Amino acid sequence: MKVKVLKKTPHELKIEIEGSGHGLCNLLQKRLLEDKSVDFAGYDVPHPLASNPVIYVRMKGATKPEEALRKAAEKAREANEVFSKELEKALEA
């Protein structure tokens, strides 16, 4: 998986994620929108057969968009760990 920065300003970040799809992008978007300092977060897959998803983040305040994206990715990772543990418990029962 490769990440390419398409646009970076103090309040906006646009990245392309090679080798990803709706699952990861939707998860990141959801976690970004939970952050009160995020003004807008969304993603687009320009063409499902030939395009990589593009995530866009715009901030309200002084928080940098890359910091918000890092925080969203960390929240997603933590949720995945919790799910993984709960799944293992359920499958052992």
Domains of the chain: 2-92 (3.30.1360.10)
What is the pTM (predicted TM-score) of this model? 0.86
Q: Between helices 65-92 and 22-33, what is the axis angle to 10°?
A: 110
Half-sphere exposure of residue 40, counting CA atoms within 13 Å on the CB side? 9
Residue 22 binned pLDDT confidence (cut-offs 50, 70, 90): confident
Contact 1, 19 (CB under 8 A): yes
Which tokens sit at 90?
Answer: 């359920």
CA distances from 76 to 1, 51, 88 (A): 17, 24, 18
- What are the pLDDT digits (tens) for 50-59? 789 999 999 9
Which tokens sit at 80?
Answer: 């995945």
- What are the pLDDT digits (tens) for 26-47? 999 999 999 999 999 999 998 8
Q: What was the pLDDT predicted at 21?
A: 84
